[in-house]
Copies of this chain bind each other. A is one copy, B any other.
């Protein structure tokens, strides 16, 4: 799984709305999730496919309807990715600070 792809999938208001809805109630059917997004059912369906390819959701056939559930793992990985960036960034700052202090022993 490509990290950029996951962020890209999250980078759309409609898709972010659907993800957010899934955190509060789950599973939901494709029909439920596709309502009130200001677009056609088929339009929403396309966005769900994007989320599915990014492995942010899972689909499961249930009779004539399809249940959608959140794949929290992928969300977690996205968060951790950002976390690592933040860590790298401030590790560098600390290293820099130590270096500077080393050159000025009397603080």
Interfacial chain B residues near A25, Cβ < 8 Å: 92
The number of residues on chain A lying at the interface, defined by a beta carbon within 8 Å of a beta carbon of chain B, is 35
Q: What number of copies of this chain does the assembly contain?
A: 2
Minimum CB distance partner of A89 in chain B: B23
How close is A22's CB to chain B, nearest CB, in angstroms? 8
Interfacial chain B residues near A5, Cβ < 8 Å: 11
Q: 7 closest pairs, A vs B, by CB?
A: A8-B11, A7-B11, A7-B10, A23-B88, A79-B82, A23-B89, A11-B11
Using a CB–CB cutoff of 8 Å, the interface residues on chain A facing chain B are 2-13, 15-16, 19-20, 22-26, 70, 72, 75-76, 78-79, 82-83, 85-86, 88-90, 92
23 cross-chain CB contacts under 8 A: A3-B16, A4-B12, A4-B13, A4-B15, A7-B8, A7-B11, A7-B16, A8-B8, A8-B12, A9-B11, A10-B11, A20-B85, A23-B85, A23-B89, A25-B92, A26-B89, A72-B90, A75-B82, A75-B85, A79-B79, A79-B82, A79-B86, A82-B82
